[in-house]
Structure 1
Amino acid sequence: MFTTVIVPRVSETDGVGHINNTTIPVWFEAGREEIFKMFTPDLSFKNWRMVIIHMEVDYVNQIYYGKEVTVYTGIERIGNTSLTIYEEIHQSGRLCAKGRSVYVNFNFETQRPEPIPDGIREKLNEHLWRPQE
């Protein structure tokens, strides 16, 4: 599992005083950076390999400006060409949001998915996370 700490910005706060719901997917994406590096070590878009094909978010509790949040990111499932990432956001010890995203290892030259290489698969396996739901 990967851990990313984020300090909420004023611009992410909505009119009723909590973090806007559109911010959560952006924070989840920030938590995926180490996974992106497994597929594209230099993070170059010229060599990019990952394409998101599905995302879901459950908003569990409100998140507020002024207190940092922690994004927990793990691998729930590894398929032949795709992987499912499970994510949670916590603030002040409370689960505030959870979600899943599915990515495909994609070759932009051929415009086709490709099998996840064994070396990357081994690294992904180190971060398996089966959520308690």
Structure 2
Amino acid sequence: MNAPLTDKPARRVLRPLEHFPHRTTENVRFGDLDSNNHVNNAVFSTFFEAGRVTLFRDPKRALMPEGLIWTLAQITIDYLGEMHWPGKVEIGIGLASLGRTSAVFEQALFFEGRCTATAKAINVLVDTTTRRPVPITDEIRTNYQRWMLPKG
């Protein structure tokens, strides 16, 4: 049986920027604009990527041990508002859950103090040699605890 159709799409619960354990800031560039004179929807994905990369790839955090990489398997974006040039976008990210080989991250973009988009990103831990998913180790699980989102 299929789920009933509704007129309103489900929205994620909006969290304030302070709830995200990792935050970074990016500049909105003039080239990010589209013909509607606002930031193009594809650039939102690029900002979300910047948030994930600044979290994972810092070697001091040991979130991506040598020989392993996080590969994006799925991203769902809810667009909530416009962003314009010039300006800065604040990117929040936190870990929602860890599976056997994958991690679910919640992310949000904030522009001029308002949330302009949310995303759920599922990343899979992959061996760089075999290019196959590998189980998340206890060490990685421990290292990610400080990046967990608060419940609720």
Report the equivalent of 1:19: 39
Q: Which residue of 1 aligns with 2:113?
A: 93
Question: Cα offset for 1:108?
Answer: 3.5
**1:44 match:** none
How far the C-alpha of 1:106 sits from its partner, in A, is: 1.0
Tell me the residue number matched to 1:109: 129
**Residue 39 of structure 1: aligned partner:** 64
Distance 2:129 2:111 in 1: 41
Which residue of the partner structure matches residue 51 of structure 1?
71
Q: Which runs of 5+ in 2 are unaligned?
A: 1-20
1:131–1:65 CA distance, 2 compared to 1 (3 A): farther
Offset of residue 48 of structure 1: 4.5
SS of aligned partner of 2:144: helix
Name the stretch that deviates more: 110-119 or 98-107: 110-119
1:66 alignment partner in structure 2: 86
CA contact (8 A) 2:37 2:84 kept: yes
The share of aligned pairs that are identical, in percent, is 24
Find the structure with the greater CA-based Rg. 2
Letter in 2 for 1:36: R
In the alignment, does 2:23 pair up with 1:3?
yes
1:77 matched residue in structure 2: 97
| TM-score after normalising by structure 2 | 0.77
Structure 1: gaps spanning 5 or more residues? 42-46
Q: Distance in 2 between matches of 1:3 and 1:14?
A: 26
Q: Which deviates further from its counterpart, 101-110 or 16-25?
A: 101-110
Kindly tell me the number of residue pairs found equivalent between the two proteins.
127
Question: CA RMSD, aligned part only?
Answer: 1.7
Structure 1 residues 25 and 49: CA distance shift in structure 2, 3 A: same
Deviations 1:71-107 (A, max 9, x none): 0011011111110011000011101000011111111
Report the 3-state secondary structure (helix = DSSP H, G, I; strand = E; otherwise coil) of the residue aligned with 2:40.
Answer: coil
- Asked if structure 2 preserves the Cα contact closer than 8 Å seen for 1:36 and 1:50, the reply is no
- Residue 109 (structure 1) shift: 2.5
Question: What code does the residue aligned with 1:71 have?
Answer: I
Runs of 4+ with >2 A deviation: 108-112
